Amino acid sequence: MCTFALAGLAISVASTAAAAKAQSDQAQAEKHQNGLETANALTNLRNQYTQAQQSAVGNNAAAYQKQEQDMRATRSAIATSQTSAGENGVGGNSVAAIVNEYNGNSAQYMSDVERNQSMTDEELMTQMQGFQSGAQSTINREPIPNYPSPLGIGLQIGSDALSSYGNYQKRVNPNPGV
């Protein structure tokens, strides 16, 4: 009879150990998958940052080019008006007013280009913050691996041992009160 109780306990211990091993393997697989997902999220974040930075460089170059074109056009317009005024015998305040008008318009255009560039840079920074939040959200959604509890395993084996002993006692002494 004792052999049956020990056999039952051995089967219970083996079953508990197998379940713990399976749970441990599953937790390891989740941990590995989490590592892959984190790496992918961070790679994607770096790619998005690179794209945003390339966009910023392109936008800055375009803004610089607009400003350079405006400066050339303004200098050309001033030179043309001064030459025309000189050929026609006009000078003084009239020519200075025209030059000031050209310079004022150019300064306003330069200011507008800089303001637009600043807003574009702010928009890219906001997008980059969104990229960071998206990557962090992906990482935060990863499941936490559930490793087996040594205490839980010990309690399960202890419970099975007590149950086997109780069953053994019932077989050995079926009428304990008699």
pTM for the structure as a whole: 0.67
Using 50, 70 and 90 to split pLDDT, how confident is the model at 177? low
Residue 59 and residue 127 in contact, taking contact as beta carbons nearer than 8 Å: no
- DSSP-derived secondary structure for 111-162: HHHHHHHHHHHHHHHHHHHHHHHHHHHHHHTSPPP-PPPHHHHHHHHHHHHH
Question: Considering the chain, what percentage of its residues have pLDDT values greater than 70?
Answer: 96
Structural domain boundaries of the chain? Answer: 2-172
At 54-104, the pLDDT tens digits run 999 999 999 999 999 999 999 999 999 888 888 888 777 888 888 999 999
